[in-house]
Amino acid sequence: MSVRVVIGAQFGDEAKGKISDELAATARYVVRTSGGPNAGHTIHPPGGKVVLHQLSAGVLRPETVGISGPGMVIEPFKLRTEIEELERQGFLRGSFYLSDRAHVILPLHEIQDGWEDDLRARKNPGAGLGTTRRGIGPAYADRTARFGLRLGELARPDLVAERLGLLYETKRHLPDLPSMEKLKGRLLEVGQYLAPHIRAVEPILWTAIERGEGIVLEGAQSALLDLDFGTYPYVTSSHPTSAGALIGSGLPPQVIDEVIGVAKGYATRVGTGPFPTEVQGEAGERLQRLGGEFGATTGRPRRCGWLDLVLLRYAARLNGFTSLALTKVDVLAGLTEVPICVEYRLADGSRLYDRPPTAAEEFQSVTPVYETLPGWPEFTDRLRERLAHEGAPALPRELRGFIEYVAHASGIPVQFVAYGPDRGATVRLDRRAGGRSLRSGLVPWSH
């Protein structure tokens, strides 16, 4: 078997959960490696729709184990609600483990998250980050500052009291902090509830590799929101890249067999930050409506735009994609033409092909250059039936041209094409078909 990494190649919400769920069918473990309840995977198994927030897609299959990994920050009270809701719906079909090294998000962190974003907006109305206010950034900051509390430590009342005492000292400036004693009691109680699932997960994964069992490392957020390589400061607080997946799971780099980049046939972004291909008016509203572009966790509407090959090339190089998964191509069906951004023009007349400007302010001002490809027909019931029985050969000719164009322009072969939310609405392509070397498929390195 293999170790496969699923990475978002855009600004998030690319239907990574759908691809993780597909891969989970042949995996023993599915590991979420970063983030917390600021992101969700919407998955459509037989029998209904599931939204996962802090559990991985592995919990939806009876032969698969879901792992919430050491790179995550976990809000234990929301996690308990998620577990109980999945049990009530009958969707908690696999077992799951929670890393004892994952850090705990506290109510203090949520308060701090909102206070800090309000502070930015007061100082500069355009500087708000559009954070989810779920406490993700402050929890990661306390982890780095070594004030954090880990899941495995919830079984130690003395340590919980000591860490809370320190944290309250550092957050005296925040309003409306809850009672420390009440919070301690709640943490110890939820810790007892979660205790049967909390364990050291790295040895489990190392043993799985020795046995040849399949592992999927599941991304949350996406490469363009990476703390270091994303559109800083409009980024998340972790590393949702292939390198981050290693840190967030405890696996060494040499065990990775595939890195699958997931991109929609168009693009979306939640919150503020640069988005060169954003489209306003009727076209953007159409993408939002047909794509159901509202956050799985927050419900916030997503900004919509066209596929950006500059950023796709950048994400491919940053993560070492071995293949791509193109999702939601059915949303573009029925258009006469489908625009694709092929390069940026900068204010000084120069051009960028395979990376964005580092500074967000400069990134905001680039001019995207588009090419247009022929659109493809609607996905009728008949076409969906053909795709279910025939697979890739039933894809419309114009859509095959779009897929080949993306593979050629990015240098990365397309392995999956998803044309709907249901579990079966995905076709797999031969990765050798249309695959090109990086030298021939990508423009020369920019200097």
Claim to verify: residue 246 and residue 313 sit in the same structural domain: yes
- Rounded Cα distance between 309 and 388, Å, is 29
**Does some domain include residue 89?**
no
Claim to verify: residue 191 and residue 286 sit in the same structural domain: no
Claim to verify: residue 151 and residue 248 sit in the same structural domain: no
| The residue to which tokens 């999702």 are assigned | 327
**Does some domain include residue 201?**
no
- Rounded Cα distance between 317 and 320, Å, is 5
Which DSSP string corresponds to 316-372?
A: HHHHT-SEEEEE-GGGGTT-SEEEEEEEEE-TTS-EESS---SSHHHHHT-EEEEEE
Claim to verify: residue 161 and residue 232 sit in the same structural domain: no
Residue-range definition of the domain harbouring residue 59: 3-63+211-441
pTM of the predicted structure, to 2 decimals: 0.93
**Cα–Cα nearest to 326, from 273, 271, 399, 389:** 399
| CB 373, CB 340: distance < 8 Å | yes
Claim to verify: residue 289 and residue 407 sit in the same structural domain: yes
323 bridge partner residues: 260
> What is the average pLDDT across 348-370?
95
| Domain endpoint, select from 196, 226, 248 | 196
Q: Which of 13, 113, 226, 354 is catalytic?
A: 13
**For residue 1, what pLDDT is reported?**
66
Whole-number average pLDDT of the chain:
92
> What is the average pLDDT across 276-281?
95
> What is the average pLDDT across 277-303?
87
| pLDDT single digits (tens) 180-215 | 999 999 999 999 999 999 999 999 999 999 999 999
389 in catalytic set: no
| Domain endpoint, select from 196, 224, 253 | 196
- Rounded Cα distance between 326 and 328, Å, is 7
Claim to verify: residue 182 and residue 231 sit in the same structural domain: no
Least confident of 89-98, 136-145, 434-443: 434-443
Q: Which two tokens stand for residue 118?
A: 């309000």
Number of domains in the chain: 2
> What is the average pLDDT across 268-282?
93
Q: Which of 41, 53, 109, 197 is catalytic?
A: 41
| CB 368, CB 392: distance < 8 Å | no
Categorize the per-residue pLDDT at 439 as very low, low, confident or very high, splitting at 50, 70 and 90: very low
447 in catalytic set: no
- Is pLDDT of 437 > 70? no
**For residue 443, what pLDDT is reported?**
36
Claim to verify: residue 318 and residue 178 sit in the same structural domain: no
Claim to verify: residue 188 and residue 247 sit in the same structural domain: no
**For residue 122, what pLDDT is reported?**
80
Claim to verify: residue 332 and residue 360 sit in the same structural domain: yes
**For residue 438, what pLDDT is reported?**
37
* Helix, strand, coil share (%) of the chain residues, nearest 5: 40, 20, 40
**For residue 431, what pLDDT is reported?**
61
- Is pLDDT of 436 > 70? no
Kindly give, in sequence order, each residue whose CB lies less than 8 Å from that of residue 106, ignoring residues fewer than 6 positions away: 135, 139, 149, 167, 183, 187
Torsion angle defined by CA atoms of residues 40, 44, 50 and 54, in that order, rounded to the nearest 10 degrees:
-40
| pLDDT single digits (tens) 22-81 | 999 999 999 999 999 987 788 999 888 999 999 999 999 999 999 999 999 999 999 999
- Is pLDDT of 113 > 80? yes
- Is pLDDT of 445 > 60? no
**Does some domain include residue 206?**
no
Claim to verify: residue 186 and residue 259 sit in the same structural domain: no
H or E element: which one contains 87? Answer: helix 76-89
- Rounded Cα distance between 48 and 347, Å, is 49
Distance of CA 55 to the CA centre of its chain: 13
CATH number at residue 408: 3.90.170.10
> What is the average pLDDT across 166-187?
96
- Is pLDDT of 435 > 50? no
